[in-house]
Amino acid sequence: MLVKPNLFTAIALVAFVTLNHGATALEPSFDCAKAQSGAEEAVCSFDALAALDIELARLFTAASTGPNMDPDAHATLRAMQRGWIKGRDACWTSDMGLPLCTANEYAFRISELRQRYADARAEEGASLGPFPYRCEGLETTLSAVFVNTLEPVVVLRWGENAVVLPQVEAASGAKYASDA
């Protein structure tokens, strides 16, 4: 069933995620003593980023070891993951800052894995979707992936566009919006 949310609510231009500071209590999927980039160091320093890393690792494992994976698709998945890591590691150059850029890169990759690989949708975890929505005034279907880690976000994709929106306080239910 397709739902018609308000277009303004569904589509925003800028994402803002507040990340907690301090030593992380969560263990990411890699050894923090061997962190090789500023992004990996940030994941080791912020629980919100570590939670995203844990969810991404879960989805990657589900996709790569699932019954729908063949050798060619596995090689493509691994190559795409290496490319994603390079993009994530380039966040040190982002105007939005390393933690926010890193969080957005994780959210986009989680969304991509859930969109492309059925086996990444098979298990329950911190992310849900993709869910299709039809919005009045929008000619294409909007796809939503909800990432319910320490700092919940939704990744919205429509046509060639994508945005990460943080969850904000609402009187009832969940609401996602940006400052823009």
Q: What tens digit of pLDDT does each residue of 59-92 get?
A: 999 999 999 899 999 999 999 999 999 999 999 9
How many domains does the structure of the chain reveal? 1
Does 95 fall in a domain?
yes
Q: Residue 41: exposed, middle, or buried by beta-carbon count in 10 A (0-12, 13-18, 19+)? A: middle
Task: Flag whether 25 is in a domain.
Answer: yes
In a domain, 161, yes or no: yes
| Beta carbons within 8 Å of 88's beta carbon, 6+ residues apart | 37, 39, 102, 105, 106, 109
Question: 54 lies in a domain?
Answer: yes
Q: Residue 45 sits in which domain range? A: 7-176
- In angstroms, the Cα distances linking 89 to 7, 99, 169 are 33, 11, 31
The reported pTM is 0.84
Q: Would you say residue 102 lies in a domain?
A: yes
**Given pLDDT bands bounded at 50, 70 and 90, which one contains residue 103?**
very high
- Mean pLDDT of the region 41-64: 97
Confidence band for 180, pLDDT divided at 50, 70 and 90: low
Per-chain mean pLDDT for the chain: 86
Q: pLDDT value at position 84?
A: 98
In a domain, 2, yes or no: no
